[in-house]
Amino acid sequence: MRIALAQLNPIVGDIAHNTRLIIDAARRARDGGARLCVFPELIIPGYPPKDLLLKPSFIDENIGALETIARAVPEIHLIVGFADRNPSPVGRPLFNAVAVLHGGHIRSRHYKTLLPTYDVFDESRYFEPGPPELGHHVAVIDDIRFGISICEDLWNDERLIARRLYHHNPIADLDAAGADVLINCSASPFVLDKHAFRIKLFGSQAERFSMPLVYVNQVGGNDELVFDGNSVVFDARGKVIAHASDFSSDLLLCNIPTAASSSNQDGNRIDCPRVGLDSVLEALKLGLRDYVEKCRFPSVVLGLSGGIDSALVAAIATLALGPDRVVGIAMPSRFSSEHSINDARDLAANLGIAFHIVPIRDVHSAYEQLLTPYWDGRAPDVTEENLQARVRGAILMAFSNKFNHLLLTTGNKSEIAVGYCTLYGDMCGGLAVISDVPKTMVWDLSRHINNTAGRTLIPVSSIDKVPSAELRPNQTDQDSLPPYPMLDGIIERYVENERAPAEIVADGYDPAVVDRVIRLIDRSEYKRRQAAPGIKVTSRAFGFGRRMPIAQNYVPGKQ
């Protein structure tokens, strides 16, 4: 049977736009000879719609769009994700649903059973789990019984998931119901190395139940999340027989075998997904590009210090948007070195972006003269250093206001973790591009960009220099922080893996350093709560997926 996988990039809440995308893809699938076209989870409202789902008019419009789509392309079977109402007076008011459309009508509805409520997911806030009598029946299309599931329903294989969150496996239910082919409509966000596990998990499910499996994923950036696409088809032996592109919209036409003995898959396309640093770079580019486009900003602006973090963000922005939409501003103080200004200038020239130098020496001095009489002879400290960052933040926001640039912040995950950043200073901005990128990965990504380009985009001196905020004479980051490889190792264990201090020490880290880093991480929560949204690329990012209290006094291992 010839089917199409419609890997689309929706705009959350723009039901009219998403409807046009769906209809266009359905018509192209029809014209390509497909009998069935499968779309991602909640493709009509876009994923994640969050509290838009609490608006009755939004639900009405998304259901109305489903009917519009059915009438627009009656010749082909469609499986389309939407939010459906729960008619029961008990339970959450909605179902996370897909509908089978054909002949201008809604033929059947199928409901998600397993609702993720962890990390960035909060589906139990809105949706009721699909009851078996509604959610587990199969759809018969051209005499083939398709077992339809939605995203998380496929993520409960006890053989590969050490601690399962759910008590049953909906795929086993579909098998018991007599399905011939498995369909999974997903909105599965990118995390480094996640797709390799998808291939292993989904292939295992296909092999276990001896059925072909069709997985269709959303693509695109929506706020903090990036969806990588990578839609894929497996045969009944768990072998990949078709694979869509990654990080871009795609319509994958595929011949699938409809029985375990069949191998009618000639001509199927199998794209190779990016891995490692390549995948992280593509995720950051896509997340930045879509944030700018979907929030309707014409361009971006950022401060260029001559350091590696701002250089990496500028390079990502240029690769994502083009040089004509990126503006860099150097703001030297009396502590800025000449080589930092030169590095910023060289970076802008290498990237071909607009570049301005706005010295802050006089403004910083004016602040000090204004405030010193009120400080009662107190010695200079971090206050004066932070004034520089706040002056720079104000200047960058002025450029943002005047030209409608989106201001990009340039702090990395390592700095944000321990609060090595200034509120209302370098934290000013609308998007924190590398806030989930550890410092050690910042260096790796920068070298990778140069290697991939085949020329120097990010100056080698910015990569090789000792990191410094240049807020006082001869300052380096390691005056205040452990070496970054050590710091990143502790952050990964404590934040991403939730390891106890004793376990981290057992891995070879100095106990005093571990205690200090953990204390800094926990005390900096109030800063992170006020930070710009950042693009998630690791398994545990700071932001709405990590919900820690601010006013708390838990000290790990000290109770």
Residues carrying an active site annotation: 41, 112, 151
User: Are 276 and 445 in contact, with CB atoms under 8 Å apart?
Assistant: no
Write out the E strands in 288-419. Answer: 299-303, 326-330, 354-357, 405-409
* 533 contacts 224 by C-beta, under 8 angstroms: yes
Q: Is 159 exposed, middle or buried (0-12, 13-18, 19+ CB in 10 A)?
A: exposed
Q: Which two tokens stand for residue 548?
A: 């820690």
| Secondary structure (DSSP) of 300-312 | EEEE--SSHHHHH
Dist. CA 288–CA 201, nearest whole Å = 30
Closest CA to 234 of 226, 246, 225, 243: 243
**Distances in Å between the alpha carbon of 280 and those of 11, 48, 73, 442, 480?**
22, 21, 37, 11, 28
What span, in angstroms and rounded, lies between the C-alpha atoms of 73 and 29? 10
The 10 Å Cβ neighbour count of residue 502 is 11
Q: What is the amino acid identity at position 253?
A: L
Instruction: State whether residue 128 is helix, strand or coil.
Output: coil
Distance CA 40, CA 319 (A): 27
- Among residues 150, 152, 173, the alpha carbon closest in space to that of 161 is found at 152
374 class by beta-carbon count within 10 Å (0-12 exposed, 13-18 middle, 19+ buried): exposed
- Write a three-state SS string for 477-501: HHHCCCCHHHHHHHHHHHHHCCCCH
Q: Let me know the angle formed at the C-alpha of 105 by 99 and 107, rounded to the nearest 5 degrees.
A: 45
DSSP letter for 398, please: H
